[in-house]
Amino acid sequence: MFENLSERLERSFKILKGQGRITEINVAETLKDVRKALLDADVNYKVAKTFTDEVKQKALGMNVLTSIQPGQLMIKVVHDELVALMGGKNEDLNLKSSPAVILMSGLQGSGKTTFSGKLANMLKTRKGKNPLLVACDVYRPAAIDQLKVVGESINVPVYTEEDQKNPIKIAQNAIAFAKKNKHDLVIIDTAGRLAVDEEMMKEITAIKKAVSPDEILFVVDAMTGQDAVNTAKEFNERLDFNGVVLTKLDGDTRGGAALSIRSVVNKPIKFIGTGEKMDAIDLFHPERMADRILGMGDIVSLVERAENEFDEVVARKLSKKIAKNQFDFNDFLEQIRQVQKMGNLKDLAQMIPGVGKALKNVDIDDNAFKPIEAIIYSMTPKERKNPQLLNGSRRARIAAGSGTSIQEVNRLLKQMDDMRKMMKKFQSNPLKRR
């Protein structure tokens, strides 16, 4: 995410390295490079110019503390301006009505249908909502089937009228169905087109008028860059939507759409899609995104993601086992599953400050745990509970059964032994914890 922009900005700040103070000349030189970096990231030209002008004004007006280097001060100013550019703070959905109605809009291929499922899943698991997905795309072949598959994968019902070709009637009937069946949230998936056209705009405007949605979200593919911003502008003029959803942000190395869209349409980015899985959805936090763009990581989002997947019962049970020095390979497997639930490994690593930069050119395979899992699954239940039983012949059998080498088995056993020693030490010396 934003790798190219992050690298370019890092190079820009190096211009100020070694400088004793901020002057108009070195600021101008740095910001010329920052502007180029923004334009290369496909940021709107006017937005890039306004941004660098604001940074220049603030940087020159600041007193440089003796303890802070000019380069560090410039990063702080750029960070604050990036936050302001992206909206300043996260904005929540308005879900006060019963049922609350969310209308999805956007071009074909932007990821509306998938995102509708992600949003339903998120609001169901985190907010305790009882959502209903509504299939109002009556044109695209297999659109209804796609939404059904999405709904099934997250255990959320999908309202369809396959013989009905009027999306306005479908939407109205779906809301009546939701009221009758105690659904407190209705997410309407509408038709998209390959380009903005009059017919499409008339239809979605008519749906809006008929159902009076609490929220209208415009879904856009972040990888389309400036085109995404232009499309958002056209939709907003006709639809006056409440917020933007940026999908496929995990594949966007430039970041132009995320940085331009708020300034151009004056509407907040509310959510981002960061992968294909149904849990690959995050609230958009401008400050955290600015941290990531400048290579500072995003530890708050990492902790939040861990908390969402955290199983309190399992954790309490594990804590008791650690206290008794009974941590075994079954527990090891459980911890792997908890990590896997949190999402893409490289994405998680990049949230840790300083790690993202170190792993810039390193490919972290999501299947990295597979050999470990294969080794553990090749053990008998007795061996998993009692790793000390694993002598030479048992290790050879496990290596053959898991398709790994004896060295890999030995390495895992050593890691396990080190972990148990560390946990035992931690439990027995509570006063030494830091």
Which domains occur in the chain, in start order?
3-85 (1.20.120.140), 100-294 (3.40.50.300), 306-432 (1.10.260.30)
* Helix (H) or strand (E) segment spanning residue 248: none
Instruction: Pull the structure tokens for residue 368.
Output: 């990295």
CA distances in angstroms from 365 to 29, 121, 226, 349, 410, listed in the order given: 40, 26, 31, 12, 22
Which stretch of DSSP H or E encloses residue 269? Answer: strand 269-273
Distance CA 155, CA 228 (A): 31
Tell me, what's the pLDDT at 15?
60
CB 252 within 8 A of CB 5: no
- Residue 211 and residue 130: Cα distance in Å, rounded? 19
What count of residues does the chain have? Answer: 434
Per-residue pLDDT in tens (0 to 9) along the chain, 434 residues: 555 666 666 666 666 555 555 667 767 777 787 788 788 777 778 888 888 888 888 777 665 544 456 666 777 788 888 888 888 777 888 888 889 999 998 888 888 899 999 999 999 988 889 999 999 888 877 888 999 999 999 999 999 888 888 999 999 999 999 999 999 999 999 888 766 778 888 888 899 999 999 999 999 887 776 777 788 888 888 888 888 888 877 665 556 677 777 878 888 888 888 777 888 888 888 887 777 777 655 445 555 555 555 556 666 666 666 666 677 888 777 777 776 666 665 566 555 544 455 445 555 555 667 888 899 999 999 998 888 888 999 999 999 999 989 998 998 888 888 777 776 665 555 444 44
Mark residue 2 as left, alpha or beta (left: phi above 0; alpha: psi -120 to 50; beta: remaining). Answer: left
CB-based contact 215:93 (threshold 8 Å): yes
**What pLDDT does residue 273 have?**
84
Which pLDDT score, from 0 to 100, does residue 432 have?
46
Query: Are β-strands 281-283 and 269-273 bridged in parallel, bridged antiparallel, or unpaired?
Result: antiparallel
Paired tokens of 181 = 């069946």
Report how far apart, in Å, the C-alpha atoms of 382 and of each of 280, 324, 370, 375 are: 37, 18, 21, 14
In Å, how far from its chain's centre is CA 251?
A: 11
* Contact (Cβ atoms closer than 8 angstroms) between residue 212 and residue 124: no
8 A C-beta contact, residue 385 and residue 330: yes
- Paired residues of 245 in beta bridges: 219, 271
207 in Cβ contact with 101 (< 8 Å): no
What does each C-alpha distance from 44 to 49, 53, 95, 108, 308 come to in angstroms?
A: 9, 14, 33, 23, 36
Neighbouring residues of 110: CB distance < 8 A, sequence distance ≥ 6: 192, 219, 220, 221, 247
> Residue 47's pLDDT is what?
82
Helix (H) / strand (E) element for 407: namely helix 406-428
R_g (Cα) of the chain, nearest Å: 26
Asked whether the bond before 99 is cis by omega within 30 degrees of 0, the reply is: yes
CA 230 → CA 12, 197, 265, 267, distances in Å?
A: 28, 14, 9, 13
Residue 193's CB: how many other CB atoms inside 10 A? Answer: 16
Structure tokens, 411: 């390495």
* Burial status of residue 418 (CB atoms within 10 A of its CB: 0-12, 13-18, 19 or more): exposed
222, two tokens: 């972040």
Contacts of 333 (CB under 8 A, 6+ apart): 373, 376
Measured CA to CA, the distance from residue 128 to residue 133 in angstroms comes to 16
Query: What was the pLDDT predicted at 354?
Result: 45
> Residue 374: what residue type?
A
Dihedral sign, Cα of residue 393, residue 396, residue 402, residue 408 = positive
User: What dihedral do alpha carbons 71, 73, 74, 80 form, nearest 10°?
Assistant: 150
With CA atoms as reference, report the closest residue to 308 among 167, 121, 145, 154.
121
